[in-house]
């Protein structure tokens, strides 16, 4: 426990955007609990010039030392001191391009490179911009002032208090004092920002680069709505006088919830008419809502330690979708949540190399490709599970109590459980501890004997393992009588093996009704599975339940419990399927099997192509402006998957649309991505030349992303090599993972990826760690199928000398082993 607690920071900065350096002064008011002769701050990559310490009116002599390994600035006092003291530290730093700390971001205007400088501090990079106590529990108030060149502006968490002209021709921006907050939420930015506001709503603004103002209205409107929703739902007013939504060109993450000054990748805030798809619009809204929810969960109430980071991210994930659904109930948002969050979480959580939502022992948590699906997606899915268990009124009441009790302070998981338990009078603490304090999730195996239903539970993993784990599972069972009547049973499974009574005349039962639970189900009763198949075909079951049965069946296939022949036979129940959720799931799983089961590709294509073409025939190849959002998402994805697997109908349609694009004619934004991909797949070098020109000339970040995805579609080895060279030399670091992820799903490109990665590793290691990890998790599970021993040995040697990307490497290697297991189990099943 630290002896020193910050009360207030006053930060003064002079950034130089020509030399990419800055000078700073930080004045820290501290309270010390007991007499000590040392104060420890966090600092790294800073040149600390001077330090003065005042207590009352007296100066206290001190000396400095920097521990680079611990990232600590140690200040030794001449005598032990207790009480309130003030440190004044002057320092200098570099404005680098690492997308961490205080960094520069470039853009092109009138043919010349221009720069802005912004901050990104989560989780522990505030120390790169000012000496501080860089831990979420060490909250303080902040006064910030920034001197900038004439013609530039400055932005920070709080509103501008004053702008003062200096004799040098520069300007000093002085900002209002912030509420009590953590260092990782501090933000400042300098550049030629353009402010956009909505008529009648002056609190919320969008800040863009010059020329991007016309694209900010859509996100700005939704930001205003999301802020109003949160104030109403949580019953606590937003504490700042303003909220800025800031579009940043170079950004490692998708967005960041800096209090009062949220930053975004440009294409996650700006909507480009004729380019941004319905899927893109939904993503913009979900990301904006996610970050605005953080203004309460994370900013107002902050985790007392990084082990409780899930309290921020899980709520932002869950409510991010909920807010979009509130304003756009026709968008099928909760179907997208199950597909984009719950399914992703359960795939990640089925790995042996794993950890709980709440990291034990207070270990530092890093958001990366390994941790994000657990902290964000699994956490959000567990909240959906407990929300369903205690009900809406109790859930909302508990959250209001939690936020009100801990406002401007810090909280741990137990504080949330106590609030929900008080509101609901249900055993929330006991249930939730079993879900957040241990890794994984259970497989429920069900066997029926008359009215007796016996359910066992054990941990589900794709690879074999022995785990002595038990969960307290809120189980919901839908039962169906011979007459078709349905009953819903709610029960708690808290033992490894339990028996429950079914109603009389139960002809069939479906466990996890509504798919609110985070577990897999395996039915040991063939008659019940057959009856559920009929219910799928007849659509007696909801789309969520039809999706859940398929998702469980496919997971059992990957685990080796079900043969490929049995799985494909099970798909016949979905021949007349018309709902987004089961259809997109089936399209994904068939594409995955086609990719990894190389020896059975012809046979899988024969099964997959008619099914994918049936989806396109049902929803139509042509996109329509007023159609359902989920239909648009499904078409764009299936069009590409069907073409890649070998559908001539899908290929012919997309090639005709690519021809229109090359002729300068408009194509629906809802099929732009797949059309470009298929153009690359079918037209090789000509397509590369056209895409490269399109990328170079585009001013839309979303269009550039579409082009980068398309670069993963080539089949000619020479063109793939050309594309790979283009990626490493011409594509900004923030986006290099995009075409590589695309190539990792293209069997023509996969064999070239590993050599590209190892040849360019010295440069890749200079990227933000998250970007390096994304490359590893994309490349290894697929490229490793061709050279597994080499890749295993390479990373064994790599990890012996470095901790870099350790979590991502372990995750990627286990995914490789799962793919190899699938090949061994299923490769020859359909070779005839």
For 113-162, give the secondary structure using H, E and C: EEEEEEEECCCCCHHHCCCECCCCCCCEEEEEEEEECCCCEEEECCCEEE
Looking at residue 829, its pLDDT comes to 65
Looking at residue 363, its pLDDT comes to 57
CATH top-level class for 296-436? mainly alpha
The maximal CA–CA distance of the chain, rounded, in angstroms, is 90
Q: Are 189 and 119 in contact (CB under 8 A)?
A: yes
The C-alpha torsion from 235 through 236 and 242 to 243, rounded to 10°, is -70
803 pLDDT band, cuts 50/70/90, is confident
* pLDDT 10s digits, 666-698: 999 999 999 999 999 999 999 999 999 999 999
1 pLDDT band, cuts 50/70/90, is low
Looking at residue 118, its pLDDT comes to 98
Q: Are 786 and 749 in contact (CB under 8 A)?
A: no
Cβ-Cβ contacts under 8 Å for 164 (sequence gap 6 or more): 171, 172, 174
Given a cut of 60, whether residue 484 has pLDDT beyond it is yes
Tokens of 366: 């890093």
Looking at the DSSP assignment, which residues form a beta bridge with residue 50?
90
Q: How far apart are CA 323 and CA 284, in angstroms?
A: 12
Q: Are 174 and 188 in contact (CB under 8 A)?
A: no
Tokens of 607: 């099964």
Given a cut of 70, whether residue 540 has pLDDT beyond it is yes
Q: Write down the domain spans for the chain.
A: 1-192, 296-436, 442-517+519-545, 578-826
CATH topology match: 1-192 vs 578-826: no
Looking at residue 369, its pLDDT comes to 72
518 pLDDT band, cuts 50/70/90, is very high
Looking at residue 129, its pLDDT comes to 98
Query: Mean pLDDT across the stretch 361-366?
Result: 64
Looking at residue 832, its pLDDT comes to 45
How many Å separate Cα 185 from the centre of its chain? 18
Given a cut of 80, whether residue 18 has pLDDT beyond it is yes
Q: Which helix (H) or strand (E) holds 344?
A: helix 343-349
Given a cut of 90, whether residue 370 has pLDDT beyond it is no
Tokens of 371: 């941790």
Fold of 1-192: Immunoglobulin-like (2.60.40)
- Residue keyed to tokens 């680098």: 96
291 assigned to active site: yes
Fold of 442-517+519-545: Immunoglobulin-like (2.60.40)
575-to-199, 533, 539, 558, 570 alpha-carbon distances in Å: 50, 11, 11, 22, 10
Looking at residue 308, its pLDDT comes to 93
The phi and psi torsions of 58 (rounded to 5 degrees) equal -95, 145
Query: Mean pLDDT across the stretch 800-809?
Result: 87
Q: Is 786 left (phi over 0), alpha (psi -120 to 50) or beta?
A: alpha
601 pLDDT band, cuts 50/70/90, is very high
Q: Considering the domain 578-826, what is its CATH architecture? A: Alpha Horseshoe (1.25)
Q: In what order do the strands lie in the sheet with 112-120?
A: 101-109, 112-120, 188-191, 153-156
* pLDDT 10s digits, 90-124: 999 999 999 999 999 999 988 889 999 999 999 89
**Pick the catalytic residue: 145, 281, 291, 577?**
291
Percent of the chain, pLDDT > 70? Answer: 99
830 pLDDT band, cuts 50/70/90, is low
pTM, to two decimals: 0.96
Q: Are 133 and 2 in contact (CB under 8 A)?
A: yes
Closest CA relative to residue 8, chosen from 190, 157, 141: 141
Closest CA relative to residue 497, chosen from 444, 538, 546: 444
**Average pLDDT, whole number, for the chain?**
95
């Amino acid at each position: 426990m630290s002896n020193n607690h910050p009360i207030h920071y006053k930060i003064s900065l002079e950034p130089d955007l020509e030399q990419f350096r800055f000078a700073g002064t930080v004045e820290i008011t501290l309270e010390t609990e007991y007499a000590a002769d040392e104060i420890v701050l966090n600092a790294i990559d800073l040149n600390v010039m001077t330090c003065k310490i005042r207590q009352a009116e007296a100066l206290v002599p001190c000396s400095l030392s920097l521990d680079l390994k611990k990232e600590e600035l140690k200040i030794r006092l001449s005598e032990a001191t207790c009480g309130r003291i003030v440190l004044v530290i002057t320092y200098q730093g570099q404005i680098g391009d690492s997308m961490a700390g205080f960094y520069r971001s470039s853009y092109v205007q009138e043919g010349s490179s221009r720069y802005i400088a912004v901050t990104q501090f989560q989780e522990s990079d505030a120390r790169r911009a000012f000496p501080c106590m860089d831990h979420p529990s060490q909250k303080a108030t902040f006064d910030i002032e920034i001197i900038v060149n004439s013609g530039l502006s400055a932005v920070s968490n709080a509103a501008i208090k004053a702008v003062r002209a200096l004799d040098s021709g520069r300007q000093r921006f002085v900002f209002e004092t912030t509420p009590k907050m953590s260092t990782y939420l501090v933000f400042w930015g300098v550049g030629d920002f353009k402010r956009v506001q909505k008529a009648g709503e002056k609190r919320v603004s969008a800040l863009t680069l010059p020329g991007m103002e016309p694209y900010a209205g859509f996100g700005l409107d939704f930001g205003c709505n999301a802020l109003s929703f949160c104030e109403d739902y949580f019953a606590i007013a937003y504490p700042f006088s303003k909220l800025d939504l800031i579009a940043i060109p170079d950004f490692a993450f998708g967005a960041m919830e800096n209090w009062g000054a949220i930053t975004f990748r440009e294409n996650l805030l700006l909507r480009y008419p004729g380019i941004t798809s319905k899927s893109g619009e939904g993503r913009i809204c979900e990301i904006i809502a996610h970050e605005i929810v953080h203004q309460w969960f994370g900013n107002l109430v902050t985790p007392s330690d990084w082990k409780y980071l899930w309290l921020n991210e899980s709520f932002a994930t869950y409510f991010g979708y909920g807010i979009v659904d509130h304003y756009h109930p026709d968008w099928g948002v909760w179907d997208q949540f199950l597909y984009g969050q719950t399914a992703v979480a359960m795939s990640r959580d089925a790995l042996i190399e794993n950890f709980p939502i709440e990291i034990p022992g207070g270990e530092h948590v890093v958001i990366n490709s390994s941790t994000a699906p657990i902290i964000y997606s699994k956490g959000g899915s567990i909240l959906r599970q407990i929300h369903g268990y205690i009900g809406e009124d109790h859930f909302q009441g508990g959250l209001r109590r939690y936020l009100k009790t801990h406002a401007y302070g810090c909280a741990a998981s137990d504080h949330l459980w106590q609030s929900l338990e008080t509101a609901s009078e249900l055993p929330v603490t006991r249930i939730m501890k079993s879900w957040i304090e241990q890794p994984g999730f259970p497989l429920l195996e069900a066997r029926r004997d008359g009215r007796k239903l016996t359910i066992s539970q054990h941990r589900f993993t794709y690879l074999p393992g022995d785990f002595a784990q038990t969960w307290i599972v809120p189980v919901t069972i839908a039962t169906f009588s011979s007459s078709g009547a349905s009953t819903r049973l709610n029960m708690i499974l808290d033992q490894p093996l339990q028996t429950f009574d079914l109603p009389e005349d139960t002809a069939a039962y479906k466990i996890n009704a509504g798919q609110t639970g985070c577990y897999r189900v395996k039915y040991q009763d063939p008659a019940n599975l057959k009856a559920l198949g009929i219910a799928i075909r007849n659509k007696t079951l909801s789309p969520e339940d039809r999706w859940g049965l398929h998702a469980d069946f496919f997971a059992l296939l990957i685990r080796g419990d079900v043969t490929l022949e049995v799985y494909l036979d099970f798909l016949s129940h979905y021949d007349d399927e018309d709902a987004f959720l089961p259809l997109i799931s089936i399209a994904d799983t068939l594409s995955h099997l086609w990719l990894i089961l190389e020896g059975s590709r012809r046979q899988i294509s024969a099964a997959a192509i008619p099914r994918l073409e049936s989806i396109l025939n049902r929803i139509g190849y042509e996109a329509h402006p007023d159609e359902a959002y989920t239909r648009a998402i499904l078409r764009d994805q299936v069009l590409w998957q069907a073409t890649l697997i070998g559908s001539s109908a899908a290929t012919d349609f997309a090639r005709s649309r690519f021809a229109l694009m090359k002729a300068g004619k408009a194509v629906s934004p809802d099929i732009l991505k797949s059309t470009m991909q298929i153009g690359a797949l079918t037209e090789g070098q000509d397509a590369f030349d056209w895409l490269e020109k399109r990328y170079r000339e585009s001013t839309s970040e979303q269009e550039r992303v579409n082009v980068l995805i398309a670069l993963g579609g080539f089949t000619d080895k020479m063109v793939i090599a050309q594309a790979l060279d283009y990626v490493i030399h011409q594509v900004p670091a923030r986006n290099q993972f995009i075409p590589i992820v695309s190539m990792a799903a293209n069997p023509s490109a996969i064999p070239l990826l590993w050599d590209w990665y190892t040849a360019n590793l010295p440069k890749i290691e200079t990227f933000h760690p998250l970007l390096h990890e994304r490359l590893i998790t994309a490349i290894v599970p697929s490229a490793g199928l061709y050279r597994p021993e080499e890749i295993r040995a390479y990373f064994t040697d790599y990890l012996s000398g470095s901790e870099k990307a350790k979590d991502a490497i372990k995750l990627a290697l286990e995914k490789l082993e799962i793919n190899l297991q699938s090949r061994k189990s299923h490769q020859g099943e359909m070779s005839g």
